Structure 1
Amino acid sequence: MGEMADALRGLLESGKLSEEDCLYIERGLGKNVVGLPAKEKEKEKEVDGWASSDEEEEVDEEYRRQVQESWGFDIDVHVRIPERGIYPHELGKRQPPSDISLYGRLGVHCFNFEKGRKLQFMGIPKYNIGFNIWNYYYITVEVKDLVDDSAHILQSSVTGCFPMNGEHLRVLTEICRLKPEKPGEEGDLTQINEEPVDELYRGRMPNFLSEAKPDDRLRFYEVQEQDICENDWLRLYTDFALYCYWRYNEEAFKSCLPAEINKILVETFETHTDPSLKLKSSNAIFHINFTAKSCDYISVVRRTKDGRTGHIILEISTWTNPPSSP
């Protein structure tokens, strides 16, 4: 739990996490995190209706073991789960909710993007939800390697966060990995750190652009039909853009699928000899114009990476096109 302690301590010191929220996270894990300041561990007063530390809910040891060994991905439905713990959802033959499906596809995209692999999303047999400041989704994804047709299990931890930069939707991944053969072979767990991201990709979301500025064309690349065929994640970004608009009405979102991509303009400050390589930039802004169910939409999707394995951040804003002037 040392990595978790370091992550929480960093958030506490930066002011991004309050002592109360820190306690909530500890309770979600079912234990005090080693290495946190004593005042957080010994806090006695009731916080927002939660009982004092002396009255904390006793946590099932088997649940604790499963969380620690699997990082939250493999939780037995029969163990006793604390109120703010991680809850398993076995799907069987049922389809996952639309957001879970998108999050699972995002995990596959992040893994392929980093590793240069060609894993294809096949389905989601189960997912787990952790409740703290935000909802944390631990998604198990069935994938197929298009190189040799081999089947694998990919695990992705995805969080839907509060908007921070004027965007409508903010989603990030912190774990994207093939399931370890043995528990405990997971490597390092690290938190998102946006400080290394170039300041050109931070702050307020940019406005939608339909055309590259004449004096700044080196920053832009207009996506070609072949690019869309070779990079199916461009359709994923478009689906995220549509979901962003209809995220409070899942049935409306599903009824609008599939969306038709009209135009994508990629904007990046990273330099490439081949303009099409701008698609592979770690940090890039995608200006997407698409149609769904006879309605036109425009969207800005900003992708950033902090350089750490398994991390990707998508910030998304979507609008319907304003009516044309008479």
Structure 2
Amino acid sequence: MRFEIIRASLARELEEVMEDFELLRREKRRRKAKLKFFCLDVPNVPDFNKEGLADGFDVNNSCYPSRLVKSTWGDDYDIALYGKLGLHCHNFQKGTNFKFVRWEKFSVISTAYDYVYVTLDAKDPVSDSVFSFQTLLNEDSSSDCPVMWSTLACRIKCDDRVDDHWDDTAVDDFYKGAMPKWLSDEELARDNKKYYVVLTAPPPLEIENVVVVTKEDTDEGHEKLKAQNSIYYVIYKYNGESSEWARDHKAIIRKTMDGKPGHMYLEVVAED
């Protein structure tokens, strides 16, 4: 009698497994039919798991089927800006002086935010060589901080996996929360270890005044510009062709780093 009960129980379990298998097979058929209906059926999906192809940069695996990211050599300003930000982060962390030449291709992977994978040509002025460079950037905006850029990778082209997790616990609370307000005249004129005034003039912008605020202990004033975590108060003037912008402007820039290679977070608030 006990043997019959066990056998019956096993038969029911096997029957449930077969039902699940049949449901799964039907679901696969349904998905395949749907793909064919929308002309998305690819009978021979290419294998992109090859050496030298980087996920996100060379292959977009966020869609089905995966697709190669094609070189377009475009002139989109935003993509060029993202590439330059990645080069800036690399130069800052590695002590290099790489220059932006042009971008080759990009792909966008959207989750809660947009992650932009950019491949570009960069130039090393020391060796006068041009090489392929990769940078991953996340852009976000909100009412209290119109522009927020997170550089999560900046490297000479390779197929290594990207560590795109930002470690917020590694950043001092001094640099978190809402963006600070513009400094008062007294604070701008203050001369102590937190503040350093710089005058530069790169066209078409004329930088009239920069005040750097940082908690990092640096003895020399110019070393504050090399702080990994800092807040910049910038007064600048536009000297370009558009007369509409030809006046004094203010900007607050907060830069933080979590200690990981290729990671840099910029928050920018501009004022007229």
TM-score (structure 1 length as normaliser): 0.62
Does structure 1 conserve the Cα–Cα contact (< 8 Å) formed by 2:153 and 2:162? no
Instruction: State how many pairs are aligned.
Output: 230
Of residues 64, 71, 74, the one that matches 1:82 is: 64
Whole-Å Cα distance in 2 between the matches of residues 86 and 315 of structure 1?
33
Q: Which amino acid aligns with 2:221?
A: P
1:188, CA displacement in angstroms?
A: 5.6
User: What does the per-residue CA deviation read over 1:186-223, in whole Å, with 9 as the maximum and x for residues that have no partner?
Assistant: 26624111111011111111112265626663201111
Query: 1:173 aligned to 2:139?
Result: no
**1:151-170 alignment runs, 5 A limit:** 151-163=130-142, 166-170=144-148
Q: Which amino acid aligns with 2:233?
A: H
User: What does the per-residue CA deviation read over 1:143-171, in whole Å, with 9 as the maximum and x for residues that have no partner?
Assistant: 1112221222110000102449x211111
Query: 1:189 aligned to 2:173?
Result: no
1:128, CA displacement in angstroms?
A: 1.4
1:71, CA displacement in angstroms?
A: 2.1
Moved over 4 A (4+): 54-61, 66-69
Between the aligned residues of both structures, percent identity stands at: 27
Whole-Å Cα distance in 2 between the matches of residues 210 and 142 of structure 1?
43
Of residues 62, 75, 97, the one that matches 2:46 is: 62
SS at match of 2:46: helix
Does structure 2 conserve the Cα–Cα contact (< 8 Å) formed by 1:87 and 1:130? no
Residue number in structure 1 paired with 2:7: none
Does structure 1 conserve the Cα–Cα contact (< 8 Å) formed by 2:139 and 2:150? yes
Of residues 109, 112, 118, the one that matches 2:97 is: 118
Whole-Å Cα distance in 2 between the matches of residues 219 and 67 of structure 1?
48
SS at match of 1:65: coil
The verdict on how the C-alpha distance between 1:55 and 1:168 changes in structure 2, with shifts beyond 3 A counting, is same
Does structure 2 conserve the Cα–Cα contact (< 8 Å) formed by 1:63 and 1:75? no
Does structure 2 conserve the Cα–Cα contact (< 8 Å) formed by 1:125 and 1:142? yes
Whole-Å Cα distance in 2 between the matches of residues 172 and 63 of structure 1?
31
User: What does the per-residue CA deviation read over 1:97-120, in whole Å, with 9 as the maximum and x for residues that have no partner?
Assistant: 222111110000111111111111
Query: 1:209 aligned to 2:155?
Result: no
User: What does the per-residue CA deviation read over 1:34-77, in whole Å, with 9 as the maximum and x for residues that have no partner?
Assistant: xxxxxxxxxxxxxxxxx99x85978985376379940211138x
1:319, CA displacement in angstroms?
A: 1.3
The verdict on how the C-alpha distance between 1:80 and 1:208 changes in structure 2, with shifts beyond 3 A counting, is closer
Q: Which amino acid aligns with 1:174?
A: L
**Structure with the bigger percentage of strand:** 2
Whole-Å Cα distance in 2 between the matches of residues 283 and 65 of structure 1?
38
Query: 1:224 aligned to 2:215?
Result: no
Q: Which amino acid aligns with 2:115?
A: Y
Q: Which amino acid aligns with 1:218?
A: K
Whole-Å Cα distance in 1 between the matches of residues 184 and 228 of structure 2?
22
SS at match of 2:165: coil
Whole-Å Cα distance in 2 between the matches of residues 205 and 89 of structure 1?
38
Whole-Å Cα distance in 2 between the matches of residues 147 and 210 of structure 1?
43
Residue number in structure 1 paired with 2:249: 297
* Greater C-alpha Rg: 2
**Root mean square deviation of aligned Cα:** 3.3
Q: Which amino acid aligns with 1:153?
A: S
Residue number in structure 1 paired with 2:242: none
Does structure 1 conserve the Cα–Cα contact (< 8 Å) formed by 2:53 and 2:59? no
Residue number in structure 2 paired with 1:24: none
